Amino acid sequence: MNDAGRDLVGQLPAAALRRYCDPAGFQFASTAELPDPEHVLGQERAIAAIEFGADMGRDGYNLFVLGQTAAGKHNLVQHFLSERAAKEKPPSDWVYVNNFAQPHKPKAIELPTGRGAQFRDAMALMIDELRTAIPAIFDSEEYRARR
């Protein structure tokens, strides 16, 4: 800055470097007492972009969030998408089973929400039972008599 500009600015007293806020003007002792805000303040464009990305109803679309490190980008997106997902109907479960006719093309089965894990557990139990039952059949007297 040249000398002419310095004269226009003037000196700033130390007391003016900080803005004082009288705590008596607030009706709470700590901000921990305040409810969480319903919206993220000052991030309207970011929220609109996240909504736009989340509204893409097809596979192959992603959100790319760019900004300063430790600016809360991940938390913002996570919070927004979690709230949105809580309002939507949960998606179906999908399981893929062996296609014995074409092993390179597994068969997809759509199940009601939450039933995929039950199906997995039932299949694991069946496999354990078959590991015991099949050898027992071949060791049985009835099988030996037929042989």
Per-residue buried b or exposed e for 45-60, using 16+ beta carbons within 10 Å of the residue's own CB? ebeeebeeeeeeeeee
Statement: residue 1 has pLDDT above 60: no
Structural domain boundaries of the chain? 36-88, 90-147
Average of pLDDT values for 119-143? Answer: 94
d(C-alpha 29, C-alpha 27), whole Å? 7
Q: Residue 16: its pLDDT value, please?
A: 83
Amino acid at 41: L
Element (DSSP H or E) covering residue 51 = helix 44-54
95 CB-contact burial (10 Å; exposed 0-12 / middle 13-18 / buried 19+): middle
SS3 of residue 132 by DSSP = helix
- pTM of the predicted structure, to 2 decimals: 0.47
Q: Residue 6: its pLDDT value, please?
A: 63
Paired tokens of 33: 């007492």
Amino acid at 134: I
